[in-house]
Homo-oligomer: A and B are copies of this chain.
Amino acid sequence: MEDKLTQAVEDYLKAIYELSQTEGRASTSKLAEYLEVTPASVTGMIKKLASANPPLVDYQKHRGVVLTEAGMNEALETLRHHRLLELFLHDILGYPWDEVHEEAERLEHVISEKFEERIAAVLGNPKHDPHGDPIPRLDLSMPASAETRLSDLGKGDSGTIKRVRDTDADLLRHLSDLGVTPETQVKVVDYSDYDKNTHLKIKNQDEVVVLGQNITEQIYVEA
Residue A44 CB within 8 A of the other chain: no
Main secondary structure of the interface of A (DSSP, over half): helix
State which of A31-39, A93-101, A188-196 sits at the interface with chain B.
A93-101
Residues of B within 8 A of A122 (CB): 92-93
State which of A107-115, A125-133, A141-149, A173-181 sits at the interface with chain B.
A107-115
Pick the contact of A93: B89, B95, B115 (CB < 8 A).
Answer: B115
Compute how far the CA of A29 lies from the CA of B95 in the bound complex, rounded to whole angstroms.
43
Compute how far the CA of A118 lies from the CA of B115 in the bound complex, rounded to whole angstroms.
18
Minimum Cβ distance to chain B for residue A173 (Å): 15
- A162-203 interface with B by 8 A CB criterion: none
Pick the contact of A114: B99, B107, B118 (CB < 8 A).
Answer: B99
Compute how far the CA of A99 lies from the CA of B95 in the bound complex, rounded to whole angstroms.
26
Closest to A88 in B: B93
Known: A95-B114, A103-B111. 6 other contacts (CB 8 A): A92-B122, A93-B115, A93-B118, A93-B119, A107-B110, A110-B110
